[in-house]
């Protein structure tokens, strides 16, 4: 009976249903990633990894407009007002124009036989990649509108399309044409998904050349922040692609791909919760209330992130039984997972900064961290060290970013609590020391042992925080009934 009641509560909660759908989509993406890696092998997967990296860079050609839409709509109480139309119209207009430019550039590179990034045969794939990015960017504007409105059905359909069609391509295309097949499936999902989002939309759609400056003024700092945030990993990935072999790029790309796939599950919580957190932390909220909410976010979310990462780290040997040719990426993968955990632990700080419209300071902190990673990565290249040390540079840059965000929070709240105290609120000293221990064991060639001991120590030393998470989850399920 209790199981039935729990099931009913879950089905009545749209957020839990959406999250469940996303997890299903992530499972499909994970299976697809394994199959693509297995069928392509490290060399060709290096090419696919480079194309995925370029895709990630080109997504930022939207100049942060999807984030601007999210912040503008999340900080107003009336989503049906003219403010909504004046927010959506310029964002869609600019994004559409940028998409046209991207497709023209991709056409020129591929059919004009432009020699660029020959090591990875980029001109062979530029056209389909540019079309895919153009549709993706338009979708992101629309998705963020539905997200703020709390309407998740269409978003769920688009997510499933993005996950399922590339998986179908894995089985439909022969291995020598698999990369083209994957890109074609991404274009197809982009077209269908955009139609789903636009068809009888519940909010006004229009072309507008007004308020472009305002939206870009909000979006550009957010883009710099977001780009710098991801550049902490992307910059290191780029350096590996340029200075190391295609095979090494394939190994590093697999570690990046699997890290991102695993962390998508955790990122879903951020994606759903961020608009509400921005609203609850916006200007005018009492400092004591804001501090309490940030502490609660950090305690719950940070605990889940590290528990998840250490648990996944223990399961990695199973993964490399399936893909034995990628075993050299084991240590890189564990380090990248821990780096993501450190970055994601700053969620409470990031939400507070966005709510107080401190995008420029966030961007500055991101850029400082990104620069640190670049310098450390070039030192690794200079001394001709293994690419695993570049992954370690990402970990150090992630710690720096979370610390800097804690300092911003301390200054904005205006209390005497130090930035170091806020940092250890997000990442307790015991958790940091456990992570460093796991990394040390990993660098000595035993990533599984590092992950296993780290997991056991984390369970023991963080039992109070984990118990709090369990109590919080029970309360939420009880309220949703």
Residue 51, token pair as written in the block: 């194309």
Q: Is the pLDDT of residue 365 over 90?
A: no
Task: Identify the pLDDT of residue 437.
Answer: 95
Task: Identify the pLDDT of residue 141.
Answer: 86
Gyration radius from the chain CA atoms:
22
Q: Is the pLDDT of residue 289 over 90?
A: no
Q: Is the pLDDT of residue 17 over 70?
A: no
Lowest mean pLDDT among 95-104, 278-287, 411-420: 278-287
Structure-model confidence comparison of residues 60 and 16, the more confident one: 60
Average pLDDT over residues 411-419: 71
Lowest mean pLDDT among 34-48, 99-113, 146-160, 185-199: 146-160
| pLDDT category of residue 207 using cuts at 50, 70 and 90 | low
Average pLDDT over residues 407-430: 79
Distance (Å, whole) CA 297 – CA 24: 25
**What is the total count of domains within the chain?**
1
Q: Is the pLDDT of residue 269 over 70?
A: no
Q: What is the mean pLDDT of the chain?
A: 82
Task: Identify the pLDDT of residue 448.
Answer: 92
Burial (CB < 10 A; 0-12, 13-18, 19+), residue 199, is exposed
* CA-based nearest residue to 183, from 268, 121, 226: 121
Query: Which pTM value belongs to this model?
Result: 0.81
Q: 230 φ, ψ to 5°?
A: -80, -25
Task: Identify the pLDDT of residue 311.
Answer: 92
Q: Is the pLDDT of residue 474 over 70?
A: no
* CA-based nearest residue to 63, from 26, 25, 97, 31: 97
Q: Is the pLDDT of residue 9 over 60?
A: no
| pLDDT category of residue 297 using cuts at 50, 70 and 90 | confident
Structure-model confidence comparison of residues 340 and 68, the more confident one: 340
Task: Identify the pLDDT of residue 415.
Answer: 64
Lowest mean pLDDT among 112-121, 198-207, 314-323, 420-429: 198-207
Lowest mean pLDDT among 169-173, 274-278, 360-364: 274-278
Over residues 222-241, the pLDDT tens digits come to 777 667 667 788 888 999 99
Q: Is the pLDDT of residue 380 over 90?
A: yes
* CA-based nearest residue to 441, from 452, 432, 430: 452
Q: Is the pLDDT of residue 370 over 90?
A: no
Task: Identify the pLDDT of residue 184.
Answer: 95
Task: Identify the pLDDT of residue 457.
Answer: 94
Q: How wide is the angle at C-alpha 338 spanned by C-alphas 350 and 386, nearest 5°?
A: 125
Average pLDDT over residues 304-330: 90
Over residues 328-352, the pLDDT tens digits come to 999 999 999 999 999 888 877 877 7
Residue 215, domain extent: 2-480
Q: Name the most confidently modeled range: 4-13, 337-346, 348-357, 413-422.
A: 337-346
Distance (Å, whole) CA 295 – CA 289: 10
Task: Identify the pLDDT of residue 1.
Answer: 43
Task: Identify the pLDDT of residue 229.
Answer: 64
Lowest mean pLDDT among 239-253, 292-306, 320-334, 428-442: 292-306
């Amino acid at each position: 009976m209790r199981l039935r009641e729990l099931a009913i509560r879950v089905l009545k909660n749209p957020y839990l249903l959406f999250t469940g759908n996303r997890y299903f989509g992530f499972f499909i993406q994970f299976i697809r990633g394994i199959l693509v890696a297995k069928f392509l092998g490290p060399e060709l997967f290096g090419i696919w990894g480079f194309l995925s990296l370029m895709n990630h860079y080109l997504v930022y050609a939207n100049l942060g407009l999807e984030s601007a839409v999210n912040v503008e709509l999340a900080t107003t109480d009336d989503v049906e007002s003219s403010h909504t139309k004046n927010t959506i119209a310029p964002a869609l207009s600019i994004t559409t124009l940028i998409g046209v430019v991207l497709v023209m550039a991709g056409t020129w590179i591929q059919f004009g036989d432009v020699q660029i990034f020959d090591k990875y045969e980029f001109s062979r794939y530029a056209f389909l990649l540019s079309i895919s990015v153009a549709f993706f960017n338009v979708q992101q504007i629309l998705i963020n509108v539905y997200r703020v409105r709390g309407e998740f059905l269409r978003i769920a359909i688009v997510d499933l399309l993005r996950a399922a069609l590339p998986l179908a391509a894995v089985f439909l295309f022969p291995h020598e044409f698999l990369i083209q097949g994957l890109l074609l499936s991404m274009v197809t999902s982009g077209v269908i998904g955009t139609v789903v989002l636009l068809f009888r939309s519940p909010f006004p759609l229009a072309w507008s050349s007004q308020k472009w400056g305002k939206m870009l003024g909000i979006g550009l700092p957010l883009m710099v922040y977001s780009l710098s945030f991801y550049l902490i990993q992307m910059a290191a990935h780029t350096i590996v692609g340029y200075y190391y072999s295609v095979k090494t790029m394939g190994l590093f790309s697999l570690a990046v791909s699997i890290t991102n796939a695993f962390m998508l599950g955790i990122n879903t919580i951020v994606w759903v919760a961020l608009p509400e957190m921005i609203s609850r932390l916006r200007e005018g909220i009492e400092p004591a209330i804001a501090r309490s909410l940030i502490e609660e976010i950090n305690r719950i979310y940070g605990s889940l992130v590290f528990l998840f990462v250490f648990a996944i780290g223990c399961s990695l040997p199973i993964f490399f039984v399936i893909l034995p040719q990628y075993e050299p990426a084991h240590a890189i993968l564990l380090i990248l997972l821990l780096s993501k955990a450190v970055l994601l632990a700053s969620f409470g700080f990031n939400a507070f900064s966005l709510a107080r419209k401190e995008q420029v300071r966030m961007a500055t902190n991101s850029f400082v961290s990104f620069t640190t990673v670049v310098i450390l990565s070039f030192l690794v290249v200079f001394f001709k060290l293994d690419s695993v040390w570049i992954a370690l540079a990402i970990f150090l840059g992630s710690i720096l970013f979370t610390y800097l965000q804690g300092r911003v929070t301390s200054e904005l709240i205006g209390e005497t609590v130090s930035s170091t105290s806020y940092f250890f609120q997000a990442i307790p000293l015991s958790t940091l020391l456990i992570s460093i221990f796991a990394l040390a064991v990993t660098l000595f060639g035993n990533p599984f042992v590092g992950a296993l001991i780290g997991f056991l120590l984390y369970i023991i030393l963080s039992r109070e925080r984990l118990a709090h998470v369990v109590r919080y989850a029970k309360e939420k399920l009880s309220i949703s009934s």
